[in-house]
Structure 1
Amino acid sequence: MTIDRRSFLIGASLLSLTAACASPGGSSGSLKIGASLPLTGPAADVADPGHKGYQVWQSQINARGGLLGRKVEFVILDDGFDQNTVVSNYNRLISQDRVDLLIGTFSSFLNLPASTVADRNRMLYIEPSGGAAEIFSRGHTRLFFSQPGTTDTAHRPFAGYVEGLSRRPATAAYLHQDDPSTDVPVRNLRKTFEGLGIRTVYGQKYPPDTKNFDAIANAIRQSGPALLVHGALEVDGAAVVQALQRVGFTPEILYQTRAPSSVNTYPKAVGEPNTEAIFTAGSWHPAAKYPGNAEFVTGYREQFGQEPSEDAANSYTAAQVLQAGVEAVGRLDQDAIAAWLHANTVQTIVGPLKWDRRGVPDGSLLLMQWQAGKLEVVAPASAATAASVIASKPSWAT
């Protein structure tokens, strides 16, 4: 896939997160973990909670004495959501900062080149996001995805819900940002729904820097779909809902990727009453009973005074996976840690994770829906936090 986003070049700035309690001998005795994150630029709203998730894990592991008896120090560089910069940053982390371990960044767009740098240097690379199939098709053996599903399987929870309806929507519209993490799920949903006889009345892809969605919202209103599928990342998810409100069109069923899971920003952006009945798929829920989840949620609240988002949970999970491998092997042997992860299941806050030879997890995402101001799990039944599904989206609140 050719990716042509070159307009966000921003010089890297170093943000060194040193543990509050330094180990004897100072930072030279610390265990350094390096990452490049899009802390500025169009993906900063995703990277900020993800960054905080790493910090929560750092605080907790250091409170227990660190990793392999050494305090953990994160070395974080800002790439401004630029592919050239993310490559330079990971090369710098390895050759200049001489970090002991690497950990992944956010989006398939950045993880694709970043993981190539890691593989070239024979280093472990655990990514918190970026489930595009392209990433796992290159034969990398030290690459692991720390969510329970990838973009290839992300459509399944919502597709299964619609397939099981006794009265399915007759028409559908498809809209998505030009990004590998949205292209695939929307394409898969469209193929599935057309196979069920749901007629497509509108389809549109838009550039990542799109700000005004009024023309698109008008086109959707004129096509009048019963079902709207929107492949969104973050800000664009709320912006499309705002545009639909302005043109006065409410689909009977609305599904968006990623954006509705941002519990701290999405309801404020669209208006809390307007979140009602919106579907999304996610990897994590704060009420999940998986080991360590309650500790993560409490730690995040105490450290940052807000509720954790899925992005924060995903980065925390990546750190959990890294920790499990390092502690099991007992030394910083990149190949040995990768071999152990390939052969074992790791218990995380998104559930048990195990991987195939490509680093693809064997699992599935959760189907979620906003109900009464809360993001609830509606499927599978074994993980549900809501008693039922809201079948039809109410009109936008004025």
Structure 2
Amino acid sequence: MSRWTSRRRRTSALIAGIGATALILSACSGGGDEGDDDGEGGDDPILIGISLPLTGDFAEPGQGVQRGYELWAETVNANGGLLGRQIELKIVDDQSNADRVVADYEALITQDEVDLVIGPFSSRLVLASARVVDEYGMLFVEPAGAAANIFEAGYGNLFYAAPAIADDHYNYLFDYIMEMPEDERPQTASYATMDDPLAQGAAYGLKDKLEEAGITTLVDEVYPPNTTDFSGIAAALAEADADLMVGGTQYQDGVNMIVAVQQLNYQPRMAAFTTAPTLPEFVDALGAGVEGVLAPTGYSPTADYAGNAEFVEAIAELYDREPSEDEANAYTAGQVVQAAVEAVGCAEQGECQQELIDWLHANTVPTVVGDLAWDEAGRPNGAHFIQQYVAGQPEIVLPADQATAEFINIKPEW
């Protein structure tokens, strides 16, 4: 018996609890009869194809997405399956490569003849794969493609399973800065961002708003996704000595950037990074250096959303920690697909896919990240929390009505 299987069995009661909640939420969403599967699947498993970056630049968050998908499928299966059929995931590794992810979805749809597909991690890979999924007219719910250009490409089949797109990730932080007394708010800012639609989109969404508000940009650096040497970028950041440092990062690049500026003793008053601080490995890599670091996050373990407490408990049992944002967003993507399939009553390639798409455009789905609804381009209707490390722990500091700790205005030294 594998370690994974053993731990799964120890969480069976928790999984059953989540599944019971999911069934209640699906019933509240309305729609067709759950057991009325008019396709040709019969009792065969519902095969869901997924390409993920399990190696390469996006491996850390990609593996988190895999864990979220697998927990969702296990939860559904433990509670009778989807339309009375078990879910089988076929997950392939796209190696963080945009060409590879396109080939993967092409093969999953045409060769493996999967019933459904769910999206990969990262805006770069979502944008590449969305085209081929759209060509086959299939529903494409994705957990991690938030860049604005994805929703400007005209894909009516795409739905982002998170609260907000990249440009709006820092909205609460911008509002907070603007509400600070003028002599206390940052006057200058520096930006260093990976050439990646999500990372750069989030950082530049904040940059555009701050510049319009009169906060001066001192550094604006964009680096390739495979960058490992941050000495030059760190030197520019340290020399500029801006009040606010913003990193448009994934994971390892965020850690490397922080280590590089630490070595030059650059101490910004505020420091914000995308993705990296939301991963549990972030604290392991930086220790006390995480204190005061900010990040947008689409998920909070403390949020009072239906089913979230059970989800948190299941992750704690499996990994002895709280869920990561990537795990939650993947789990959410599964919830969204589940709601549509149960409402429409089918899960096969063909005309069923357009019915699923139409249903999601017309309905709201309760999830562990809140109630989600979408516009015609697949943009969600919510807003991201702002997370900050307080006493070594990731806490929600914005918005105030969801905060678990007070905002630290001046970041402690690295």
- Give TM-score scaled by structure 1 length: 0.90
Q: Deviations over 1:111-152 (max 9, x none)?
A: 112111111001100000111121112222221000110012
Q: Which secondary structure state, in structure 2, belongs to the residue aligned with residue 74 of structure 1?
A: strand
Q: CA deviation at 1:95?
A: 1.1
Quote the Cα distance in structure 2 between the aligned partners of 1:215 and 1:391.
28
Q: Which secondary structure state, in structure 1, belongs to the residue aligned with residue 168 of structure 2?
A: coil
Quote the Cα distance in structure 1 between the aligned partners of 2:240 and 2:203.
18
Aligned residue in 2 for 1:174: 191
2:408 to 370, 390, 396: 390
Quote the Cα distance in structure 1 between the aligned partners of 2:251 and 2:92.
21
Quote the Cα distance in structure 2 between the aligned partners of 1:392 and 1:228.
12
Q: Which secondary structure state, in structure 2, belongs to the residue aligned with residue 341 of structure 1?
A: helix
User: Larger RCO: Structure 1 or Structure 2 (Cα < 8 Å, ≥ 6 residues apart)?
Assistant: 2
Q: How does 1:115-264 map to 2 (within 5 A)?
A: 115-166=130-181, 167-262=184-279, 264=280
Q: How does 1:1-398 map to 2 (within 5 A)?
A: 29-166=44-181, 167-262=184-279, 264-271=280-287, 273-332=288-347, 333-386=352-405, 388-396=406-414
Greater mean alpha carbon deviation, residues 131-140 or residues 111-120: 131-140
Q: CA deviation at 1:322?
A: 0.4
Q: Deviations over 1:332-358 (max 9, x none)?
A: 211111111111110000000000111
Quote the Cα distance in structure 2 between the aligned partners of 1:220 and 1:84.
34
- The alignment of Structure 1 onto Structure 2 pairs a total of residues equal to 371
* Contact 1:146–1:318, Cα closer than 8 Å, also in 2: yes
User: Which consecutive unaligned segments of at least 5 residues does structure 1 have?
Assistant: 1-18
From the superposition, tell whether residues 305 and 385 of structure 1 become closer, same or farther in structure 2 (CA, over 3 Å). Answer: closer
Quote the Cα distance in structure 2 between the aligned partners of 1:181 and 1:59.
29
Q: Deviations over 1:1-21 (max 9, x none)?
A: xxxxxxxxxxxxxxxxxx999
From the superposition, tell whether residues 28 and 39 of structure 1 become closer, same or farther in structure 2 (CA, over 3 Å). Answer: farther
Q: Which secondary structure state, in structure 1, belongs to the residue aligned with residue 166 of structure 2?
A: coil
RMSD: 1.8
Quote the Cα distance in structure 2 between the aligned partners of 1:315 and 1:178.
23
* Contact 2:120–2:126, Cα closer than 8 Å, also in 1: yes
Which residue identity lines up with residue 71 of structure 2 in the other structure? V
Once the two structures are aligned, what percentage of the paired residues are identical? 42
Quote the Cα distance in structure 1 between the aligned partners of 2:322 and 2:173.
25
Q: CA deviation at 1:308?
A: 2.0
Q: CA deviation at 1:176?
A: 0.6
Quote the Cα distance in structure 1 between the aligned partners of 2:294 and 2:318.
30
Q: Deviations over 1:59-95 (max 9, x none)?
A: 1111101000001000011110111111111111111
Q: Deviations over 1:273-332 (max 9, x none)?
A: 211111111100111110111121222233344432110111000000000010111122
User: Which consecutive unaligned segments of at least 5 residues does structure 2 have?
Assistant: 1-7, 13-40
Point out the structure with the larger helix share: 2
* Contact 1:56–1:303, Cα closer than 8 Å, also in 2: no
Quote the Cα distance in structure 1 between the aligned partners of 2:111 and 2:376.
31
- Give TM-score scaled by structure 2 length: 0.86
Q: Deviations over 1:156-210 (max 9, x none)?
A: 1221121111121222111111111122222232222222222222221111111
Quote the Cα distance in structure 2 between the aligned partners of 1:202 and 1:292.
43
Quote the Cα distance in structure 2 between the aligned partners of 1:142 and 1:198.
39
